Amino acid sequence: MKMQMPQTLSIPNGDKVQPTFSKAELNARLEKLRRYMAENDMQAVLFTSYHNINYYSDFVYCRFGRDYGLVVTADSYTTVTANIDGGQPYRRNQLGDNVVYTDWQKDNF
């Protein structure tokens, strides 16, 4: 019998940490991005660079050879993180959600 392992997880453990940027600063950045998205009829954007993920979500990570992402929509955002980070993305994420992808399936990112 083949065991089925999940492709994604939620790991909401630990207390939220002190953010690098204030909520007002982060909201201002996201509002500017969302205005641009609305003006250009974009329903969502996906960032995969370390710099943009940090700028729009305040999440800093060490890649460890794995891919990371940030999906921003008109009213929410979600960081896409590797299982190696455990609950850190949840603790760093002040305004959005986090989904953790696992290495249990090939090409899961």
Q: Please write the tens of the pLDDT for every residue from 22-64.
A: 999 999 999 999 999 999 999 999 999 999 999 999 999 888 8
Domain boundaries, the chain: 8-101
> Which residues fall within 8 angstroms of residue 2, CB to CB, at 6 or more apart?
none
* Whether residue 3 has pLDDT greater than 80: no
Supply the CATH classification number for the domain 8-101.
3.40.350.10
* Whether residue 16 has pLDDT greater than 90: no
The reported pTM is 0.88
CA distance 49 to 72: 14
Residue-wise pLDDT tens digits, 69-80: 999 999 999 999
**pLDDT score for 1:** 66
* Whether residue 92 has pLDDT greater than 70: yes
